Structure 1
Amino acid sequence: MTILFLGACGQSALLEESDEKESLNVVTTFYPVFEFASQVVGDYANVTVILEAGQDSHHYEPSPKDLAAIYDADVFIYSSEYMETWVPAVLDNLLESDVKIIEASQGIPFYEEDSNEEEEDHDHEGHSHIVDPHIWLDPVYASQMVETISEEMQVVDEEHSKMYEENAGIYQSELKELDRQFQEAFEGAASRTFVVQHAAFGYLARRYDLNQVSVSSLTSEQEISPAKLAEIGTFINENQIQTIYYQDSASAKVAETLAKETDTNLEVLYTIEGVTLEEQDEGIDYLHLMQSNIEALKTTIK
């Protein structure tokens, strides 16, 4: 009986060890990638995120602990080198590893914004260009990111490929409905211009034929000159703009100043770069915040 008991314990331990090995460890960079990956893998993998809500996704530098988590992962998923500018250096160190790397933005066409800011790169004939990385704010591109993650996960974990495909399809149906809601909300609107503090909503504007006018460019920490503020203030008054939008994850100081000077309302637009655990527990997620963006934009686009 003792031998049988020990044998059973040993078998149980082996089964537990086997189960642990079967659960893939997926590390993602920031919230949108985490959300999309989680929707795809369901309960068939352990998904974690490196950047917490409130951390600057654009200028983040990974800590030794974060690097260790990436190197120990089975799968590492990021959006793009334009958003997570620190990722290319990490990828160089992963070349000889067994970590599967997934770039969720594969196949999505990025666009550049003209800028006169001295700190930007790619200077050409007196102008500089910076790539807009905020592709997940377009529901159609978000669906494409989900599709890429699903396809790559099916290669990594063939045993659960059918479930990954089905999970992706279910979530993509919700994203398709979100796209329909955006189209319906702004269809036939006569006023299609909205003013934002930070130019993070270019893909959303392009998708739904809207005109984004921004105080600062894609560089959210850009210093705004008095001349630029006066220019935007004049535009707001001449075009009878009623609302100025500020980014949820950045200081609203500039938007507040403009709103006071032009007697306009303030509204938040979510870039959804981070969602706290408490907010997630309350049911606040990508879909919820994008629907909040629809309602906020309705005060201007009508």
Structure 2
Amino acid sequence: MNASLKRVWKKPRYALIMIAAIALLLSGCGSSASSKLSADKTNVVTSFYPLYYLASEIGGDYANVINLIPTGVEPHDWSPKSRDLDTAANAQLLLYNGAGLEGWIDDFLEGLPKGSQLMTGAMSDGISLLDADSEEAHEDHDHGDLDVDPHTWVSPKSMLVMADNVKQMLIKADAAHEEQFRANYEKVAEQLKTLDEQYTRELGAVKKHDIVVSHQAFGYLARDYGLHEQSIMGLSPDAEPRAQDLLKLAKFVKENDVKYIFFEELVSGTLAETLANEADVDTLVLNPVEGLTDKQQKNGDNYVTIMESNLQNLLKALQ
């Protein structure tokens, strides 16, 4: 296992113990993060953007949703600070993906003060998870301690499961507004079902099925819609490829008439561009929707609009 994967996926226990100690001190004198909490709404802390989107849409007017990861930050590169633990300790819900995405979560939860009433849940529960070494999860890379592919949300089918989990957690935390949460959930679910139908229908009609991506984040998308993913980097975008991986991929691109190499906005596209130049093909964006850029946020983009753009780029590449 290389050093970068160790840094991303397995945070030292002593660091989280220190966070817990500092957070307990801060809780007595206040912190900037705790000012985001609301006294008259259900406070929901989410670990990354897809869950922020779901909690905001389903919670509506009755939830104050706080996303831990700032706009423009790639979640694999993020680790919690003392103010994040303090915020979560005073909220009602903490929603995280699970499946190994948040390598810090166990120690984070252990660091909560004993009196905290925080409810927590892994929103990937109920999704059939892909093994890290499955065919869909490109087997040439070293995955370290990861047993499964954590990128569940990139498939609309999985996102529907996650939306239902978010709804159930909101009802559990605030039963008085169950009717409103259910009504909001139905609106979100309808959008996700429409998205799923579009992906199923339009990708079912393409001539090609191989996609070459920079970051191995599209295994669930590939499984659910009949595609085959080849990735430059592993499950973490910091997992550096070996030279023979790049040569093998360049050969694959040429032999299988792949026209585009996909890259994403929140991590460097250098390797994707290098491979595209080597294989004499072009690049396109395929967004794993791990977070929004500042520009996307200003434009009013969300999970659905980004996934619609992804579909158009997939269709362009696979005709």
TM-score (norm 1): 0.86
Distance 2:39 2:274 in 1: 55
1:60-209 alignment, distance < 5 Å:
60-94=78-112, 96=114, 97-114=116-133, 115=139, 117=141, 120-121=144-145, 130-209=147-226
Q: How far off is 1:47 after superposition?
A: 0.7
Q: How far off is 1:91 after superposition?
A: 1.6
**Structural RMSD (CA):** 1.8
Q: How far off is 1:59 after superposition?
A: 4.2
Query: Aligned to 1:28, which of 24, 36, 46?
Result: 46
**Cα contact 2:211–2:228 (8 A) shared by 1:** yes
> Which runs of 5 or more structure 1 residues have no equivalent in the other structure?
1-19, 122-128
Aligned length: 276
Q: How far off is 1:83 after superposition?
A: 0.9
User: In structure 1, what residue type is equivalent to 2:106?
Assistant: P
Runs of 4+ more than 6 Å apart: none
1:46-57 alignment, distance < 5 Å:
46-57=64-75
Q: How far off is 1:263 after superposition?
A: 1.1
**Cα contact 1:53–1:275 (8 A) shared by 2:** yes
**Cα contact 2:89–2:112 (8 A) shared by 1:** yes
SS at match of 2:61: coil
Q: Which has the larger radius of gyration?
A: 1
**Cα contact 1:28–1:50 (8 A) shared by 2:** yes
**Cα contact 2:49–2:292 (8 A) shared by 1:** yes
Could you tell me which residue of structure 2 aligns to residue 45 of structure 1?
Answer: 63
The answer to whether residue 286 in structure 2 is matched with residue 269 in structure 1 is yes
Could you tell me which residue of structure 1 aligns to residue 296 of structure 2?
Answer: 279
**Cα contact 1:80–1:103 (8 A) shared by 2:** yes
Inter-CA distance 251–156: structure 2 relative to 1 (3 Å threshold): same
Structure ranking higher in strand proportion:
1
The answer to whether residue 284 in structure 2 is matched with residue 260 in structure 1 is no
Could you tell me which residue of structure 2 aligns to residue 13 of structure 1?
Answer: none
**Cα contact 2:214–2:264 (8 A) shared by 1:** yes
**Cα contact 2:143–2:234 (8 A) shared by 1:** no
TM-score (norm 2): 0.82
- Cα distance per residue 1:177-207 (max 9 Å; x no partner): 0001111211232211111111110000000
Distance 1:107 1:81 in 2: 11
> Which runs of 5 or more structure 2 residues have no equivalent in the other structure?
1-37, 134-138
Distance 1:259 1:271 in 2: 19
Distance 2:217 2:240 in 1: 16
**Cα contact 1:197–1:215 (8 A) shared by 2:** yes
**Cα contact 1:41–1:164 (8 A) shared by 2:** yes
Q: How far off is 1:29 after superposition?
A: 1.1
- Cα distance per residue 1:2-49 (max 9 Å; x no partner): xxxxxxxxxxxxxxxxxx643121111110010010011001111110
User: In structure 2, what residue type is equivalent to 1:261?
Assistant: E
User: In structure 1, what residue type is equivalent to 2:126?
Assistant: G
Inter-CA distance 65–301: structure 2 relative to 1 (3 Å threshold): same
- Cα distance per residue 1:87-138 (max 9 Å; x no partner): 11112234842011132112112112224555712xxxxxxx6421111111
Distance 2:100 2:237 in 1: 14
Inter-CA distance 81–75: structure 2 relative to 1 (3 Å threshold): same
**Cα contact 1:27–1:73 (8 A) shared by 2:** yes
What percent of counterpart residues are identical?
32
SS at match of 2:76: coil
**Cα contact 1:27–1:48 (8 A) shared by 2:** yes
Q: How far off is 1:301 after superposition?
A: 2.0
